[in-house]
A and B are shown apart, each in its own frame.
Chain A
């Protein structure tokens, strides 16, 4: 095939760039936007537009009168047809009325079951609210993160030291994404090494903090952001202490979205507490009430492999400070102490590292 195929993504990026320029120059302003929203005059909206805001449209439809003009405009036979229509309407009026009354009741009940006049109806709304509350309790989403950070949050120096070990993986990259960028420690490290990067975080205060430092950070959900970026446009991904804050299903979705967003060969690194060390899995992991569940390293490795990442590897670090003394006589006792040290006081964090497959 001689002709080059058409790169739709690149084309649409140009299209959006043109729109952005026109917005900046004021050519595409509110006046043009208003033109694009002018409704079709002379009656109801097109149904697919109604579906965009079904609750408002439902309220409108419920109050709508049905009009019917029985007059026929046909020459000669017209008056006869009109007379016949009027006669049928008057003969069937009570029967039609009864049917319509029942339909009206069904419509009102259905509308009330979901939403009525902008108010969530008790049953539907209450269920939804209790679900939301459950999720909030489950993930302690209401915890004031600054207070929490002050007491339990990692020390900046420690985090910096941990993250430093991974910066070199991203050498020469131009657009590395730090998922859950927090205080921007990793972004700073990237900048120091001349690597292009940006962050995404849910917490508006963290986002503001980073922006004040001059970093590009978006306030968004990880998954939403990964799905929005152009395919292959991110050439590295770092996510420190993110995976333990989400449920396994969402983690898999995020990995899948990473696969799409990452350019071929781009590295990705997830850092999370190492539950293989019992003092972590049984104690320190749970110091953060927003932690949902620990992820064993073997399982995380498996997730990455299943989602098609290559060269997947696990690296543990952060040895525990407290350890049993190993300077006991050589032999069974020292072996046992070593085993106990590994099991109880092993490395506290681990990173699972992989690369996006090429092509």
Chain B
């Protein structure tokens, strides 16, 4: 038996792709042959096969793991291949977030959600990377569902942090950090508004660093830039774009606090990364965020920007609170220990 994984796009530095590669590494370690397939492998990604090979490679007693985070015509073809089929759901951002901002993304998300429901009978098991996702699968008509968290591969970060990034932010007292694609569901616009409060009411020198690719949502990015201008925050908000592991590590080290006002996350890998690299987390409790953070961060139940800012300030100012959050964060990360997650995955896949 061989184990094949498919996702339409595989890229470097993308949480979804990292999950696919980490799982492949584990499966190979268990002694199975395992391959990753994509329609598009972004530059810098090695050892990925074209999805067309799936139609030749997959044998009836093989296992095909389809990772689902967007609709794809190819998936309609893949479910015709005779094999054991399992779907791993990474969640689709609800189309409402794109409505009126990026109609193309909204339509695409809607198609994805329809497809997810339509193909449900073709899978023997649906795996959500969070309880939030598992419930979504259940609601979409998947009969057998379970939760297995994202498989983290911390080896990526076994690099020295980027000196350039560290040097840039050395000496800046307050650096508020958020990591995630620039996208309306992640509400970077509210982070910018929150920064306006922070600079007026707490620390006039505070900076906001937004790490994450902005090519997918050019309209939203352009409007964010306009908002920053209107609030007079030019120079106080840095768009770092998509970054490599060394830079990401440096941002986690240089920042004072990780702040998330995101309204939709299927899991929230950066929350875990922040905790892993000893950065306290303040996050608005939405979608899967609460279950990922657990009791190891400041979870905001109300959507109030002043409260978010003051909570972030408390965390940066009070050393005892900060230490406790860091300790709780490290403990929380150990709940997602890759060996244990892999073991759970092995168990649910029946390997």
| A residues apposed to B, CB below 8 Å | 1, 3-6, 8, 11-12, 14-16, 18-19, 22, 27-28, 31-32, 35-36, 38, 40-48, 50-51, 61
Can you identify 5 A-B contacts, CB atoms within 8 angstroms?
A4-B324, A8-B295, A18-B310, A36-B197, A46-B97
| Inter-subunit contact B184/A46 (CB<8 Å) | yes
B189 interface hit (Cβ, 8 Å): yes
Contacts of A40 in B (CB 8 A): 189, 223-224, 226-227
| Inter-subunit contact B201/A32 (CB<8 Å) | yes
Which 7 interchain pairs have the tightest Cβ spacing? A44-B100, A41-B226, A47-B96, A35-B196, A15-B310, A42-B223, A3-B327
Most buried by A among B184, B223, B321: B223
CB contacts under 8 Å to A, within B308-351, are 310-311, 313-314, 321, 324-325, 327-328, 331
Contacts of B224 in A (CB 8 A): 40
| Inter-subunit contact B193/A36 (CB<8 Å) | yes
B263 interface hit (Cβ, 8 Å): yes
The digit string for B283-309, where 1 denotes a CB below 8 A from any CB of A, is: 000000000000100110000011100
| B residues apposed to A, CB below 8 Å | 96-97, 99-101, 184, 187, 189, 193-194, 196-197, 200-201, 219, 222-224, 226-227, 230-231, 263, 295, 298-299, 305-307, 310-311, 313-314, 321, 324-325, 327-328, 331
| Inter-subunit contact A44/B101 (CB<8 Å) | yes
| Inter-subunit contact B193/A3 (CB<8 Å) | no
| Inter-subunit contact A8/B299 (CB<8 Å) | yes
| Inter-subunit contact A42/B314 (CB<8 Å) | no
Contacts of B313 in A (CB 8 A): 18
If A15-B311, A41-B223, A51-B96 are given as contacts, then 12 extra A-B residue pairs at C-beta distance below 8 Å, sorted by A number, are A1-B331, A3-B328, A6-B324, A16-B307, A18-B314, A19-B306, A35-B193, A40-B223, A41-B226, A42-B222, A46-B184, A47-B184
| Inter-subunit contact B227/A41 (CB<8 Å) | yes
Most buried by A among B230, B310, B314: B310
Contacts of B223 in A (CB 8 A): 40-43
Contacts of B321 in A (CB 8 A): 6, 11
Alpha-carbon separation in the docked complex, A41 to B223 (Å): 6
Contacts of B101 in A (CB 8 A): 43-44, 46
